[in-house]
Amino acid sequence: MLYIVSTPIGNIQDISERALACIKSSDLIIGEERKVTTSFLKKYKLTGRPIELLNEHSDKSDLEFLLDQCKNQVVSLISDCGTPGFCDPGADLVYLCRQNDIQVVPVPGASSLMTFLSVCGHRLDQFYFRGFLPANNEKREVELKALQKESRAVIIMDTPYRLEKTLGDMKKYFPKKVCIIGYKLTQEEEQIIEGYPDELAQLFLGHKGEFILLIK
């Protein structure tokens, strides 16, 4: 059995009793990064369980090994934060489990996307979720030029250390578009700010942190 367990995106109190119970009942925990996973388990006094990793460096043999673990044990899959299987390699393991008739059980909870949509202040019946932009500059430019043609609202994510770069891209490719940024959602430094890209770039100059961005 494989539990897909959502974990907090910032505030450590945003964990459900069910999530804690599922992890506690598991024989194995699968996380993205060992340091983050170990720290998470310590916070909730859930140490003592073996940890395996599934991330962008995992290959086919790693997935096959994890699949075997799911066949014979109760396993919880968690990501560094938020809901596993969404914009991370957990989806590959879920797919393999379903192909092999292994029960996959969702344990819903925190999601940066849904959290952001709930506080952005705009009703979005439709939007285009682009997710993480490529790190490679040439591929990134191609993607941004393609997004210029999109008529729907666009939602972008990126790693914390590319916040300044992403806002610089917004200035270049979407200078007249209103953007809303959700910065460090659920944390003490949380900010939800609406403005033009040049305004946001100035406000977040020198900042690094988890963020999600809406281009209207």
HEC string for 143-175: HHHHHCCCCCEEEEEECHHHHHHHHHHHHHHCC
Residue 20 corresponds to which amino acid? L
pLDDT of residue 202: 96
Read off the tokens for 5.
Answer: 């367990």
Residues 94 and 158 in one domain: no
pLDDT of residue 95: 96
Domains held by the chain: number: 2
Per-residue pLDDT reduced to its tens digit, 161-187: 999 999 999 999 999 999 999 999 999
Residues 78 and 124 in one domain: no
Does the pLDDT of residue 86 top 90, yes or no?
no
What span, in angstroms and rounded, lies between the C-alpha atoms of 101 and 110? 27
Residues 59 and 132 in one domain: no
Residues 99 and 122 in one domain: no
What span, in angstroms and rounded, lies between the C-alpha atoms of 50 and 181? 37
Residues 206 and 132 in one domain: yes
Domain span at 71: 2-107
pLDDT of residue 142: 96
pLDDT of residue 23: 97
Does the pLDDT of residue 18 top 90, yes or no?
yes
- Contact status, residue 103 vs residue 30, Cβ threshold 8 Å: no
In this prediction, residue 6 has a pLDDT band, given cuts at 50, 70 and 90, of: very high
The pTM is what? 0.88
Residues 126 and 175 in one domain: yes
Residues 26 and 117 in one domain: no
Does the pLDDT of residue 89 top 90, yes or no?
no
Residues 31 and 121 in one domain: no
Candidates 139, 78, 131; CA nearest to 106 is 78
Residues 103 and 138 in one domain: no
In this prediction, residue 88 has a pLDDT band, given cuts at 50, 70 and 90, of: confident
Does the pLDDT of residue 87 top 90, yes or no?
no
Strands 28-31 and 75-77: parallel
Read off the tokens for 186.
Answer: 């659920």
What span, in angstroms and rounded, lies between the C-alpha atoms of 104 and 94? 7
